[in-house]
Structure 1
């Protein structure tokens, strides 16, 4: 089993040499670029260290009064809910209730807000749960409300329409390694279509295993559990920071949005969304985009494992922080959006020029195969030269009336995009 092989390697391996000599960097930078074949066509990737790894963090400034992000012609964008504390993700109940997670790396509200809605309008808001620990993923399944905190997944008795979660009645069903490298603290949840399994995404605890691979146990992985937390296993590994997850409505495959590694240059390595194969290994930390070796593992390349690394399906651009993922299956949007995927890109911090800071759309054809991504919701960058942004999109969810809900993390807003 691939999972067993990977676990053995984790227990036996040492940390990578994160710092590569200047001479070696020059040798690598002089190489020709690599061309790989993805599901949407060939992708040219620069050689490692062909550019410096920059640091350019964004500064949040207030949205001007009346201004919104920009959607394509034929769509309307509205400030659906605001004055939230770092809204990260949303979840929609069958009765139209919308749950909003408020959490952050620092000064986290650690709570869930309930929005009562009617025909796409917010009627009222309530504190549904509080005193959590960096929550992110949510799920309603068989009489339980599940919450994925950074260090554990909990479930609580729940009935549709319930206004407040009784956290004293909670049951811890799965411990997960807490926090992680550069905000890899999010843990997302997704139930199988028949509800007999739950999938939990866990990001890496490091950039490329520099703290030793024993510290990466059950990280950089999508875990599978029974609804009561039993029978935990690694469904897929080597997938550095998977956050958004959803089911391809045509093929039934699990798909995930994944953040790739840093410090190889401005344009390496592109984040991606991909179908996730059971037992699949996606390269981290030893390789990227299939068999392209990470030079920081040159002395311990794990060649046998790298040979099995799966090529990601859809590149989404370098350092975009592609986090949210939702397939669109409602009826409100035009037909071209049916069964396609929306991805929330939180935006770069380690690139000379900003990348991300938008929502992109990936069309899928009638066979459920992806096509090249296209911009959908833009206008989050206020002044790129000054490093100022109005917002940073994260979670994307199809709302109760068919519109797209977009969590604008640092701005404290949930935007709603609807067809005119």
Structure 2
């Protein structure tokens, strides 16, 4: 079978059933081929997660490393991108040889850390913090030459702040790469109290936006790409919406409103502002960073204090509005449009968002560390978001203190419609399933 996209499976139910009745491939030449069952059994404690009625979860793999984004093949194997190299590799291949949902075969390759991971049209795409690579897959959706990737993009900026390069592909042979801004708010002196913003923000020339490249052209640099969208402080979670045939991204909002400008913002305001925003992106869009931010409490675009704002003055008239907005500082690191048929109909074409969790709400309690579901209708957010999977942190005390045991990061959809969630704290890979009984 040809590879489908990382997060999206459009197989009809009959085809999915046939897929899971077929023998499972193994990386080991001559190894016994074992059948894979169509359903897996959740762990007795649902892997420690709290889920809606009818859902269950299991730990598919553990201790993989700093598991960032991940990709699931049409045959159910999982590729995980690690933030740092572990056991000689920055990419982990996971295989379930007996169909119980537990990954019992682990291999590593790729001598670089990073975040991005995506499968499309017979290739596995992976990113470091400065480059994007691709690996050819065979007819079993396994990497053919682990030591010889094709370098697609090179020379992307890395200033050790918002350096991760998340990637996604469209249906026309293009790859989209986030280049995060190496700054909080483009101040003259970054994160210094009272420092004003740099005029014209030169950071935006090479960062703070999304770049589009060809998915099959080697050694592209900035000059070969298209500056697709700007004014995005940092995007870690992004996905291609098949209904709209459009890019959607989750922006990390800026920090330190009270710390930098206490005359305008209280501690409580700074803990929840500004919003973490979901944007529907088209070529040429500007989301407004660093000149404005979105205040979800007021429902307005507000002029940033670094550029003359006071928490009330509106700004960013030429900036696009968010498609949806969420409480601040929860760090949205994963975005997935669910297209499977395993989950109930309400989830079809809606968005799952993995919130990595906050570190900068003190002295207020920290927040996040969960996966939420945002309903969509006709390709647009519709209705209020809801917490879908909670319990990653280990409890209310761990959440409030920010000392979470696990932090959700990446999201992927399996060929049977399961939802996979990566944890970049302890390297756990969760699999969430729906029990139709």
TM-score range, shorter chain: 0.7 to 0.9
Q: Which residue of 1 aligns with 2:405?
A: 390
Indicate the SS of the match to 1:292: strand
1:158 shift after superposition = 3.6
Q: Is the 8 A contact 1:283 1:309 kept in 2?
A: yes
**Do the aligned partners of 1:145 and 1:157 also contact (CA within 8 Å) in 2?**
yes
Q: Give the equivalent residue in structure 1 for 2:424.
A: 409
**Do the aligned residues in 2 keep the contact of 1:155 with 1:173 (CA within 8 Å)?**
no
Q: Does 1:220 align with 2:208?
A: yes
1:244 counterpart SS class: strand
**TM-score when scaled to structure 2?**
0.73
Give the stretch that moved more between structures: 316-325 or 251-260: 251-260
Q: Pick from 49, 53, 69: which aligns with 1:89?
A: 69
Q: Which runs of 5+ in 1 are unaligned?
A: 1-63
What is the DSSP-based 3-state SS (H/G/I as helix, E as strand, rest coil) of the residue aligned with 1:266? Answer: helix
How far does residue 394 in structure 1 lie from its aligned partner after superposition? 0.8
- The alpha-carbon distance between structure 1 residues 389 and 367, as it changes in their structure 2 partners (threshold 3 A), is closer
Is contact 1:179–1:186 with CA below 8 Å preserved after alignment? no
CA gap of 1:179–1:329, structure 2 versus 1, over 3 A, is: farther
- Tell me: CA distance 1:379–1:139, structure 2 relative to 1, closer, same or farther (3 Å): closer
Q: How many residues align structurally?
A: 348
Q: Does 1:295 align with 2:305?
A: yes
Between the aligned partners of 1:144 and 1:180, the Cα distance in structure 2 is 29
Cα separation, 1, equivalents of 2:421 and 2:46: 17
* 1:371 alignment partner, SS class: coil
Match of 2:4 in 1: none
- Is the aligned partner of 1:185 residue 2:163? yes
Is contact 2:131–2:156 with CA below 8 Å preserved after alignment?
yes
Kept in 2: contact 1:180–1:203 (CA 8 A): no
Contact 1:115 1:122 in 2 (8 A): no
Give the match's secondary structure for 1:389.
coil
Show the counterpart of 2:319. 309
Q: 1:341: Cα distance to partner?
A: 0.5
CA contact (8 A) 1:97 1:115 kept: yes
Maintained 8 Å contact 1:395/1:406: yes
Match of 2:33 in 1: none
After TM superposition, list the pairs within 5 Å mapping 1:16-415 onto structure 2.
68-104=48-84, 111-117=90-96, 121-132=101-112, 134-161=113-140, 162=142, 165-181=145-161, 184-194=162-172, 196-210=173-187, 213-227=201-215, 228=217, 230=220, 231-264=224-257, 265-289=270-294, 291-298=301-308, 306-351=316-361, 352-366=364-378, 368-381=380-393, 382=395, 383=397, 384=399, 386-415=401-430
Is there any run of 5+ residues in structure 2 with no aligned partner, and where? 1-43, 191-197, 258-269, 295-299
Task: For 1:306 and 1:221, locate their aligned partners in 2 and report how far apart those are by CA, in whole Å.
Answer: 16
Structure 2 Cα separation of the partners of residues 67 and 92 of structure 1: 20
**1:414 offset after TM fit, Å?**
0.8
Inter-partner Cα distance in structure 2 for 1:147 and 1:81: 20
SS at match of 1:103: strand
Cα distance, 1:350 vs structure 2: 0.3
Q: Deviations over 1:30-55 (max 9, x none)?
A: xxxxxxxxxxxxxxxxxxxxxxxxxx
Residues in 1 aligned to 2:87 and 2:383: alpha-carbon distance in whole angstroms: 37
Q: CA distance change for structure 1 residues 198 and 74 in 2, over 3 Å: closer, same or farther?
A: same
1:147 to partner: Cα distance: 1.6
Deviation at 1:138, TM superposition (A): 2.1
Structure 1 counterpart SS, 2:272: coil
- Aligned equivalents of 1:201, 1:108: Cα separation in 2: 27
Contact 2:253 2:329 in 1 (8 A): yes
Q: Tell me the SS of whatever aligns to 2:255.
A: coil
Say if 1:110 and 1:240 are closer, same or farther in 2 by CA, change over 3 A.
farther
Which SS does the other structure have where 1:296 is aligned? Answer: helix
Could you tell me how far apart the structure 1 residues matched to 2:96 and 2:171 are?
25
* Alpha-carbon distance change, 308 to 76 in structure 1, aligned in 2, over 3 angstroms: same
Instruction: Tell me the TM-score normalised to structure 1 length.
Output: 0.76
Q: Please identify which structure carries the higher strand content.
A: 1
Provide closer, same or farther for how the CA distance between residues 178 and 273 of structure 1 changes in structure 2, counting only shifts above 3 A.
same
Q: CA deviation at 1:198?
A: 0.9
Q: Indicate if the aligned counterparts of 1:271 and 1:317 stay in contact, CA closer than 8 A.
A: yes
8 Å CA contact 1:152, 1:172 repeated in 2 = yes
- Alpha-carbon distance between aligned partners in 1 of 2:406 and 2:175, rounded to the nearest angstrom: 31
* 8 Å Cα contact 2:334/2:355 also seen in 1: yes
